[in-house]
Each structure stands twice: as structure tokens, then as C-alpha cells.
A and B are shown apart, each in its own frame.
Chain A
């Protein structure tokens, strides 16, 4: 589904991603871990098309389509979803109105008629239930006055509504208490199918106890320095990142 080849990117001339290679197939969940500043969130931003990042080398395809040539909105319409680390607030725009606009934009891109009010409402109710999202938030202004946890849960609700092919969760677990973490994880688990895929960016092993990944990758200094299964996450929890840093530096010297 997603194929990243030798991806190099940076901000204002500063290199951040230095040759990322990653293959994600339908039905898979990949976790990306790594110390602060290793480029995890930058990878998410580059894939979603944030303007401040400049790609200097490499290709990315989503279902054989060149992702990097598309505008951010077209990437979204092609089925890429980013659950933001810091969701923004948009005062006066109701959550529901925003979602309706988003959903209908995506449908129109795919040559589908807009959903009528009744079907949209039914879909909203179904997804609210699925991800345990409190109905009182759907009519409030988009993220305005939401707590950190509520914002993250809203991201998962949006994910449920828009049904993307590939979802990237950028540190969705940060700032969540244990109950919210469970609810968010349950939501993601219910949304997993053999047709979609997830990339989960996290600092902590904790989230991966709830959402069990098929693969774990460690990002360090803009490269994936180690890949493995869930066992790798446990090893990291125990040993930290230092041994990997040393390994990576040794490799560089060779």
C-alpha cells in the first residue's frame, strides 16, 4: 500500500530525514519508535504534505500513486489520514459541519454523490458508538476548549468517519490518561481491517500493549536503524535507545 524509498527531507536546509525506506501492506500495523528529535513526527508531516518540509530525494507511493506530487488535500482524498499530535482549534466551526464538509470533499474527489443528511447522521451515530465518542462534542466548535484527551479522541472519531486507507497516528498516546488510552486503542482496534493500514508513532511501549503492531521500527537520526516485531518494543522499554545509538554510530564508521 505505502512504499517509501530513500526519503530525504528537511526544514529550511536542515536535514531531518536521511534515507527512509519502509513498506507498509494492507492489513498491517507498523509502530515507529525512537528518541526525541529522531524525525518521527517529521516523517508524518512529510507524508501528509506539510508545506514547511522540503523533500530533497526519494519517492513515496500510495497504491502506486506518487504521493509527493499531490497537494495535502489530494493525499487526504486518496486515503491518507494523519491523527495530529497537536490538533488545532477552529472556533465557531462545529465539529459536525467540519466533518460533513471533509467527507463530502473526499466523496466528490472519488466521484461519489454527497451523503444526504439522514445517512450522514446515521453514519455519525454508528461511528460515535464505535469509538466511544461523546455525542455532546460533535456539535461543539472543532476542538475549541477540548482537553488534550478529548482532542485526541476527536482525531480517532474523525478517522472512523473518513475511513482512510492509511492512518498515521502521531503520538496519539501522549497526554492520555489510562482510560482515554484504552478507549483510543479500542477504537483503533475496531477500525483495523485487512484493507487498511496504520503507522503508529509513539515514544512508549505502553500503547503497543493495547494496539499490537505487526512490525516495530526504530528511527534514529533520520534513518530506520532497526526493525523487528513487538519483541523489539519490549527490548527498547527495558534497555532504552542508547545501545541502538551506539550500534548506529558504529555502522556509520564502517
Chain B
């Protein structure tokens, strides 16, 4: 019988499945961050003046900011001058159809299980693929266009729908919000853009797949989703990266805007390269995600399954401005080896009768450290605001850690705020019970962990729930003896 140490060793030596590099000619900016870099990116993308000005303003803000100091981990040294801020597959001309896309690139996406060719695409899933810095192909565009839905790369939106981008970009996460958001605003290369017109219910899941390929490039993508009055959209983001010994920085910004009676559901399955068993390499995933329920009865729901990255540091938040608006945050974060996750959410209750629900499930194995950090803020006008928070931690082995930092600020005495927290360990008794029914230890852990995360996984769109379930099982393969 394998002892727990053997199995713990096994898991820590398990290979990262997506650690391949695609050999494609890339157009890369020299390393370094300066106004020239920003001019270079902006020129490459043929951007209008106002956007360049905004980038430069963000760069100024970035220069004034310093690194945060409140996080529950040791801040790694990041040399912003050593990063290259732009990498794109060398392209001779604009792609008109999939047939023109580099076959190597398509092969990469197929390896990732993201079929670009529409025939192979999961029925009802439209994919916008971002490869390093440039959005490569957007599927299903035609069908969506009929409904007036805009789903394209951010760069394309800048060219085609400048009025929308100008109005909303930076309206939820300002250019000076925090150091990483400022950096993103200054150098962002691409991302996705979604606009759902009034009263339209997007008939399929929209999906973006990010992948970091080139060495020493950070991926700074920007996603902007606007659901106009009465609109609905469900959006999924998936991420992977090849294995590198160096750490790579990923500082994305996501902004969601839900108008009156609109609903946005945003799901993330994040599987960036986590580094090796000694904590060498891996992605720093420092992301700012925020949504605003601008109109009454609007709803924004974040669901995230975080299994990758050396450090995950993000707090998808909701500003509940409209009356009766609703915010949700469902999260499963897994850390193993030397991985660190400091994640949670912020719910800002501004309107009356606003509701928020936070379900956070942390899983720590190996030497992993998992922190939940959350803020529930109720303003003086948020009459009858309600919040329910549940934050659970599951520990596997005795070298890992779980931490909880909940903050509650209420300025309205009619508000109801509930917070529940539990910490548990996968018990030898549970494993033995399942063993005694013929289930081996690996499958037993997978069953227990998936059961533990069920409430969150249930929030994911069907196809991705299955993926996420598999990912959880693989990630924690054999982590208990």
C-alpha cells in the first residue's frame, strides 16, 4: 500500500499536461517598458489618438504606484523592464477565413482541446482565441451578427466600434485602479469584446481561450462585456500556458457592465502553468475583474475554477448600483506544490434591496497556500441589502495552509449579512470507507473533492462543468494516502 508520503511525492512530480511550445514565427517587441513601447504597440495596432492618450495616462499612473503590501504571500520581484510587452504570430495579411490561419496555430488549439474549425466546435460555443497577444479567430461571428451581438477581439472593436469602446473601457476598472490594472491599460495587446443589444438573449455560450506561448512575454489582455437592457450572456474564459522555468506575468483586466434587467454570467477555468514541485517557474496571475450592475434588477455572476498559476491573485467583484441588483461569486481554488492563491471577491452594495452571494471553496494540497479575502460593503442607501457568504477550506496533507480574511463594512442598519466558514481535512476514515467499497485512493480523492466543490461546479455551463471536474481530479491525482 502506498504511504501518504509516496503519493504526495507522486502528485508533486506529476507533469503539467499542457507544457508544449508552439513553433511559430513571432513578431515580438524588444523587452522593456517605456513610452516608446506604448507608442510601438499602439502603432502596431493602428489605434486612434484617444486610445494612445489613455494608454499614456495609464502609464503615468503606473509609474506613480508602488507594489501592494497587504497580500498574504511574499511579493516576488518583478522586473518590468525584462518583459516583452508585445508578441504576435507573424502575419502577412488579415485572415479572412480559418483556412488562412497558420496550421501550426490550429494544431496548438487542437492540442488544447479547443477546436477552431466550426464543425468541430462544441455545439453552441463560440470561441475567440487569444494566442499571446493577438486574437486569432472568432468563430460563429456570422450567426451572432444576425442578432446584433458583437463578439470580436478587442482590437477589432477599437476599429469597428470605437464609440462603444471609448464609452465603456476603463469605466469599471479605471486606468489608475491599481498597479497591475494601470500596467494593463498602458500595454494591453488584445482581448475580447462583447456587446449584447437590448432585449437579446445570447443563444450560445461565448468563450475565449487564452494561451501564453512566447518566452518572457506577459499577457495583458482586456475583456469588455456590455449587456444592454434586458440582455443575457454567458461567457467562459479558459487559460493554459507552456511550461517555462522563468515566471511569466499575466495581468489581465475584465470589465462587465449590466444594464437594467440584464444578466452576465462569467465563468473562468484557469489552468496556467503552476511551476514545478520546487516552485520554479509558473505564471503570476494578477488579474483585476470587476462588474457593475448599472441598472435596476441587473445580475452579475462570477464563477471560477482556479487550478493553475504559481500565484493567483484576484478578486472578481460586483458593484451593485441598481436597485434590486444581484451579485454572485462562486469559486474553487486549488493549490498544490508551492502554489499560492489569494483570491475572493468584493461586493459593493449601493442600491436598495441589493443581494449578493459568495461561495468560496479552497482546496490546499502539498505546500499550497490558499487565502480567501473578501469585502462586503453596504452603503448608507442600500436599504435591506442582503449578503450570504460561505467560505470553506479543505486541507489535504499536513504541509499546506488555508487562510480567511473576510471584511464586512455596513453603513445601513437594515442590511443582513451572514458569514459562514468551515475548515476540513480529507479524513483517512473517508478514504478507507471508499476503499472498502472497491474504490482506489485516487478515485476516492477525486470523488470527495468533486463532492466538496459541487455547489460551484454546478454553476458552470454543462460542457465546462465536465471539463472542470476532470481538471480537479487530474490536478489532485493521488494527493492523499
Contacts and interface: CB of A to CB of B under 8 A. Distances in A.
Contact of B451 (A77, A82, A93, A162): A93
B440 A105 contact: yes
Given A88-B427, A91-B451, A93-B447, A102 B437 contact: yes
Contacts of B54: none
B438 A90 contact: no
A98 B450 CA distance: 12
Contacts of A75: 436
A92 to B, nearest CB: 3
Interface in A88-106: 88, 90-93, 97-98, 101-103, 105-106
A50 interface: yes
B440 A76 contact: no
A51 interface: yes
Most buried by B among A73, A91, A106: A73
B314 interface: no
Interface stretch (B78-86, B225-233, B452-460): B452-460
Interface string A43-56: 00000111110000
B439 A102 contact: yes
Given A88-B429, A90-B447, A93-B450, A77 B1 contact: no
B20 interface: no
A128 interface: no
A84 B430 CA distance: 12
A71 B430 CA distance: 16
Interface string B432-466: 11111111110100011011111100000000000
B449 to A, nearest CB: 9
Contacts of B428: 51-52
Interface in A42-80: 48-52, 71-73, 75-77
Contact of A105 (B443, B448, B453): B443
A92 B437 contact: no
Interface string A154-183: 000010001000000000000000000000
A92 B426 CA distance: 13
Contact of B436 (A82, A98, A103, A142): A82
Interface residues of B, number: 24
Nearest to A98: B447
A51 B438 contact: no
A87 interface: yes
A161 to B, nearest CB: 10
Contacts of B437: 76, 98, 102, 105, 158, 162
A21 interface: no
Contacts of A92: 450-455
A145 B264 CA distance: 35
B447 A87 contact: no
Interface in B1-35: 1
Contacts of A101: 439, 443, 447
Contacts of A97: 447
Contacts of B447: 90, 93, 97-98, 101
Contacts of A6: none
Given A49-B435, A51-B1, A102-B438, A90 B455 contact: no
A38 interface: no
Interface in B204-226: none
A141 interface: yes
Given A51-B428, A88-B429, A141 B439 contact: no
A101 B450 CA distance: 13
Contacts of A90: 430, 433-434, 447-448, 451
B433 A84 contact: yes
A73 B2 CA distance: 13
A90 B454 CA distance: 12
Contact of B435 (A72, A91, A141, A142): A72
A93 B432 contact: no
Most buried by A among B429, B434, B453: B434
B435 A88 contact: no
Q: 4 closest pairs, A vs B, by CB?
A: A92-B451, A93-B451, A92-B454, A72-B435
Given A105-B437, A162-B437, 11 more contacts: A51-B428, A51-B432, A71-B435, A73-B438, A75-B436, A84-B433, A88-B433, A91-B452, A93-B451, A103-B438, A105-B440
17 contacts: A49-B1, A51-B428, A71-B435, A72-B435, A73-B435, A76-B436, A81-B436, A84-B436, A88-B429, A88-B430, A90-B434, A90-B448, A92-B451, A93-B454, A97-B447, A102-B439, A162-B437
